[in-house]
A and B are shown apart, each in its own frame.
Chain A
Amino acid sequence: MADGSLQPILARTPVRIEASRLLRTLRPLRRWTLRGGPAVADAIQAAFGVAAPRTACRSAVNEDGSRAALWLGPDEWLLLAEDDGAQPGDPEAALRQVLAALPHSLVDVSHRQVALEVSGSDSALLLNSGGCPLDLDPEAFPVGMCTRTVLAKAEIILWRTQPGTFHVEVWRSFAAYVSAWLAEATRGLTE
């Protein structure tokens, strides 16, 4: 029973990642899986600061880069938000408000997955050597493109945020595997 003896909010224990030459962990993010018809894509603009893209495998990012919406399917987006307390108001409450009248599903998956960043001039080469089968040529996979794919035996979401930088979302229990695989793939990468 709540009796005032509640302890303060406990510390988070993030997933441990083996960083390597081209790989680092990103700060914890808030995440939601948004599902629904085309109407929800536009509706979130008011609450989230950015509309969900309608173009397949493309992302939208707000002005200061603190929020992003990634197209993952015709009725599915991944919403990402910085979790640094700088944003006033709870984005989830605001989102639920603007979506209330529309058929949709908004599920908090902040802790389901973790974000890794692969960056450097060899980043695409590393991903292609680390079990990602996609064509990562800048023409085929330009900045802003995102998709679900695999990295060896793990499912990932791959999002190119800069020419040499990829944001990788991976379910938490696969993060150690993915980072170890990428560390191994770094060996002799350009030989």
Chain B
Amino acid sequence: MNEGLRTHSGGRIDRSQPLRFSFDGRSYTGFAGDTLASALLANGVHLLGRSFKYHRPRGLLGAGVEEPNALVTVRRDAARITPNLRATQVELYEGLDACSQNRWPSLAFDLGAVNDLLAPFIPAGFYYKTFMWPRSAWHRLYEPRIRASAGLGRSPTLADPDHYAPRHAHCDVLVVGAGPAGLAAAQAAATAGARVVLCDEQNEPGGSLLADDPRHAPLVDGQPGPSWQAGMLASLAAHPRVTVLARATAYAFFPHNLLGINQRLTDHLARPRKDTPRERQWLVRAREVVLATGAIERPLVFPGNDRPGVMLAGAARTLLNRYGVLPGTRAVLVTADDSAYEAAIELQRAGVFVAAIADTRAISDPPPGVAGANATQLWMHAAQRAGIPVLTHATVTGTTGRRRVNSVTLARHSGLAGSSVTHPCDLVLMSGGFTPSVHLYSQSRSKLTWSESQQAFLPGAPAERVRCAGACRGVADLAAAASDGAAAGAAAAQAALDPARIGVQPRAPATPPPPVLPPHANHAAHAATPQAGGFIGALPRAGTARGRAFVDWQNDVTVKDLALAMREGFRSIEHIKRYTTTGMATDQGKTSNLNALAVVARAQGRAIPEVGFTTFRMPYTPVSFGSFAGPARGALFDPVRTTPMHDWAAAQGAVFEDVGLWKRARYFPLDGEDMHAAVARECKAVRAGCGLFDASTLGKIEVVGRDAVEFMNRLYVNNWSSLAAGRCRYGILLRDDGYVYDDGVVARMAPDVFHVTTTTGGAPRVLALMEDYLQTEWPQLSVWLTSTTEQWAVIAVQGPKAREVLAPLVDMDLGAAVLPHMSAVTGSICGVPMRLFRVSFTGELGFEVNVPADYGPAVLQAIHASGQPHGITAYGTETMHVLRAEKGYVIVGQDTDGTVTPDDAGLSWAIGKNKPDFVGKRSLSRAALVAPHRRQLVGLRTRDPAVVLEEGAQVMERAGARPPTRPLGHVTSSYHSAVLGHPIALALVAGGRDRMGKTLYVAGARGDVEVEVTGTVFYDPTGARLNG
């Protein structure tokens, strides 16, 4: 550490705790309480980064969240690499390993800096114009090169080993920002009895108070700042219903007073505990929100304003007072605001030589004596008394210095007498005034209004239950901000705790205008009426002088770039922003937006509110992906739903497939079998003997009530009145547009009880559709719906031997005379209550055994044991698909695609012809839905029995047709049928049923395949096996 660059005492650092750290491989020492930025400056390191586009050397501009230049990568190990961190917010810890970005081979010697020399040839938008030809080179050559050279940090390539925790919280009053206004607001709200959350992005609460010199701190509520702050914190700690979150950035204002807060829990620790989450993502729902987000100092725009050593005056105060670091040895201040005078006096007191203060304002000489002088005149007086020359009506015409500023040239505004003066210096401090941080307020869709007197956008009418306090609404004076915060906190608590408050409430009253600033007791200048301060836009002569005047440091946008955009015809600020990329860097223009607006407004001769402002978008600062993902990764990314019999299937060696969130057994390979062989074996076993299938994932809905049959008649196409209790029917559900939405077997268990099954994937949406109609269209029907999908384990027993397998286990007669195809009965199996359906999705004699889910595994094993003499074989979804395709049974979503009517699918037989209405009925008579050449479901047989068609392949009228040929349709299902010994396929083909026996062609990987159009039923067309 360079001892000369530290103050002898003071600051919020712990000088008894030195910490070693490294930057770009070199070792340094700092203190606990330092940031990486303050520690580097204390070591004399001012060159902290290279700019985005021109690779210009850059140092610190700010000292906090606004910092655009000093972006660094912090590395803990190979997987824990975090790029693009602001060095001003990286807390120092023992062993911190950081490196600079966007430079090669080194920060001091960066080959990319050649861009700086090429700057005249790469103005704003150059990449839109220059890299147009040849077209293909953009993706292969230009874009990757530009991306590599105009880079920020690099993403880690390994998986993130840390864990991230989400947390939902609720409160009466959420206060964002723990500066003077925020502390006072939280304290007032807590005193009023409110449940309070106070969050602040810094490592300790205090906000602007942290940058004050405690020995000369201004008074708040009659106390010096530090003791007032300590009192507030003690008071908040004593309230059990107050939560104070440090290192917690409110990054988003979501609708309905939901705020996203990103809290960093371990990034500041040398050795984080293993179980501590790295970050906690808070989602806080607040009845009332108080935004006390402060203000950000604005840079001045003059030529050469981006050299290392040119920084904000407030940043220098923070470095000096909070971190005990002297940011330079010889300083010149350029200001349009009184606050820089305080910085100058403090720096001089600390031993920095202050060569001059250049004030851009025309300041008249103070009246004799102090009485009657305004604040600016008093500040000027104080500076002069300290021996600091003050140049008024001043501007800057340039700076010099390669890796650090070494001189600044000051001049009077054009037209004024006096030649320019060049001051040697290693520090240029600037202050263009303060821009209120209205980001979150604007994110809430609340209005911003332009204040001519304050030259700032201030909070206007709120759109949520939100109010602002302190500097973020233009109340900058310390004591005034604190009392403003207290008032806002009390008002928010009162509104939140209003006993009359139920449900949706009227909006909070509009924020009252800022009060007249009360006097400050500490300092004569603080006490005087402040002058309109601040400057927006480019300083006079900035455009004409040599050297570039930067507006946006992080994206390298200059005044000339903005002028160029306007010359090229861009007028809207939104277009100019996108063309020049001003304000579009990771800092989202925190220091640049207002200056850019003013440059544009002046050039266009318009007022700033006419130009408008660009949208404030979330997040306020970048938030890690891990924080958003939280635990939802790997095994916890999505629920994995398994059936009650999953473990049994797994033990049988099943290969599973994902069906929605479900894991379903796809096939059960024996030793050495591939899927093809396993499926062939399973298919033959079902057709020859008996198969066992887990159908538990099918959706099930219990429709119960006096009007159940009426409800079913209105919803499904079928006629349910004619279905007797104890019988099943295949049901089809349409959307109101007449297209097939879902299907499934429906069993009438009793006159007023229907057991409806749906497709696996359709279960939630069918229930939602039913509830929708029931609640909004037919609320008078006496019927209720209950999902029973997971109540029942469903075991399908299919095949000619199915009856013999089940008979020994059940308490009923399974004979065809008693229990014909499509019967439904209640009974028991192995003593367990059962609903037994005689149904088949295979074309064989079949039963579906429904038992309460916990009994599923035991019943399944009992059936499996009982089936051993009959060669019972477990089969999976793949075999199920083949067997049903052999019978021409459709799968909704595979053979239909949301544009298929019942008739298209060959299912018009299911429609209850005499019903007055059902969902979709009227649509079915639309001309387009009865047109003769609609695509209809047909079977296809390849002439070459060795060729299995590809699902999704186009069906053509002629061989060899090339685009733009209109296909007749496409293959929806295609399998090799082991039982039939040849491939089978289903397809949707235009006018398909009129093409029976015709030859068509299906596009294939090895050319067009000749196929014959057939019916959809390939196996047992008479249904003899089904009814056996």
Footprint of B on A, CB under 8 Å? Answer: 1-3, 5-14, 28, 33, 35-36, 75-76, 103-113, 125, 128-129, 131-135, 137, 140, 152-154, 171-174, 176-177, 180-181, 184-185, 187-189, 191
Closest to A10 in B: B858
Q: What are 14 A-to-B residue pairs whose CB atoms are below 8 Å?
A: A1-B807, A1-B812, A1-B813, A10-B832, A10-B862, A12-B854, A105-B705, A111-B791, A112-B790, A131-B166, A172-B790, A176-B640, A176-B642, A187-B275
Contacts of B638 in A (CB 8 A): 153
| Cross-chain contact A174 with B163 (CB below 8 angstroms) | no
Min CB distance A84 to B, Å, is 15
Interface string of B629-640 (1 = CB under 8 A from A): 001100110111
Which secondary structure dominates where chain A touches chain B? loop
Q: Which residues of B contact A174 (CB under 8 A)?
A: 639, 641
Q: Which residues of B contact A173 (CB under 8 A)?
A: 639, 641-643, 661-662, 790
CA distance A1 to B830 in the complex (A): 11
Checking B636, B787, B830 against A177 with a beta-carbon cut-off of 8 angstroms, the contacting residue is B636
Q: Is B704 in contact with A107, judged by CB distance below 8 angstroms?
A: yes
Partner of B168, one of A76, A134, A171, A180: A134
Interface residues of B (CB under 8 A from A): 163, 165-170, 195, 265, 273, 275-277, 283, 285, 631-632, 635-636, 638-644, 661-662, 702, 704-706, 782-784, 786-792, 807-814, 828, 830-832, 852-859, 862
CB distance from A65 to the nearest CB of B (A): 23
Contact of B811 among A6, A108, A172, A184 (CB under 8 A): A6
CB distance from A171 to the nearest CB of B (A): 5
Q: Which of B787, B809, B813, B854 contacts A13 (CB 8 A)?
A: B854
The answer to whether A12 touches B639 (Cβ under 8 A) is no
Q: Contact: B852 with A110, CB < 8 Å?
A: yes
Max chain A Cβ within 10 angstroms of own Cβ: one of B195, B702, B810, B853:
B853
Which residue of A110, A137, A184 contacts B791 across the interface (Cβ within 8 Å)?
Answer: A110
Interface centre among A13, A35, A152, A185 (most CB of B within 10 A): A13
**Beyond known contacts A1-B813, A103-B706: 10 more, CB 8 A cutoff:** A6-B830, A7-B809, A7-B831, A10-B831, A13-B644, A75-B784, A105-B786, A109-B791, A111-B852, A177-B636
* Residue from A8, A13, A106, A191 in contact with B275 in the complex, judged by beta carbons closer than 8 Å: A191
Which residues of B have CB within 8 Å of A12?
854-855, 858
Taken together as a complex, chains A and B put the C-alpha atoms of A184 and B167 apart, in Å, by: 13
Q: Which of A6, A108, A111, A133 has the most CB of B within 10 A?
A: A111
Could you say which residues of chain A place their CB within 8 Å of the CB of B167?
Answer: 125, 128-129
- Please state if A187 and B277 are interface contacts (CB–CB under 8 Å): yes
Contact indicator A7/B862 (Cβ below 8 Å): yes
List of 9 A-B pairs having minimum Cβ-Cβ separation, nearest first = A10-B858, A35-B784, A105-B704, A173-B641, A12-B854, A135-B170, A105-B784, A177-B639, A2-B811
Whether the pair A13, B812 counts as a contact (CB closer than 8 A) is no
Q: Cα distance A10–B856 when bound, in Å? A: 10
On whether the beta carbons of A2 and B810 are closer than 8 Å, the reply is yes
Q: How far is the CA of A65 from the CA of B400 in the complex (A)?
A: 83
Expressed in whole angstroms, the Cα–Cα distance for A176 and B638 within the complex equals 11
B805 → chain A closest CB, angstroms: 13
Is A191 within 8 A of B273, CB to CB? yes
Distance in Å from the Cβ of A113 to the closest Cβ of chain B? 7
Give the nearest-CB partner of A108 in chain B.
B791
B155 CB to nearest A CB, Å: 25
CB neighbours of B782 from chain A (8 A):
103
Q: Are A13 and B276 in contact (CB under 8 A)?
A: no
Contacts of A180 in B (CB 8 A): 635-636
CB–CB B853/A181 < 8 A: no
Q: Which of B170, B788, B862 contacts A107 (CB 8 A)?
A: B788
Docked-complex contact B641 and A7, CB < 8 angstroms? no
A188 touches B644 (CB 8 A): no
Q: How far is the CA of A180 from the CA of B633 in the complex (A)?
A: 12
Contacts of A108 in B (CB 8 A): 791, 852
Min CB distance B582 to A, Å, is 38
| Pairwise interchain contact B856-A13, C-beta atoms closer than 8 A | yes
- Distance (whole angstroms) from the CB of B629 to the closest CB of chain A: 12
B885 → chain A closest CB, angstroms: 28
CB distance from B258 to the nearest CB of A (A): 9
- In the assembled complex, which residues on chain A have CB atoms less than 8 Å from the CB atom of B640? 176-177
Nearest neighbor of B831 in chain A, beta-carbon distance: A9
Known A7-B862, A177-B639; judge A112-B831 contact (CB<8 A): no
In the complex with contacts A1-B812, A2-B812, A152-B632, A128-B277 CB distance below 8 A: no
The answer to whether B635 touches A109, judged by C-beta atoms less than 8 angstroms apart, is: no
Q: Which of B636, B784, B786 makes the CB contact (< 8 A) with A109?
A: B786
CB closest residue in chain A, given B807: A1
Q: Of the candidates A7, A13, A133, which one forms a contact with B283 in the assembled complex, judged by CB atoms under 8 Å apart?
A: A133
> How far is the CB of A147 from the nearest CB of chain B, in Å?
14
- Is B854's CB under 8 angstroms from A14's CB? yes
Contact B791 A5 (CB under 8 A): no
Interface pair A103/B705, CB less than 8 Å apart: yes
Which residues in B have their C-beta under 8 angstroms from that of A176?
640, 642
> Contact: B786 with A10, CB < 8 Å?
no
Name the one of B165, B632, B859 contacting A188, with C-beta atoms under 8 angstroms: B165
Residues of chain B within 8 A of A181, CB atoms compared: 631, 636
Neighbouring B residues of A188 by C-beta, 8 Å: 163, 165, 265, 273, 275-277
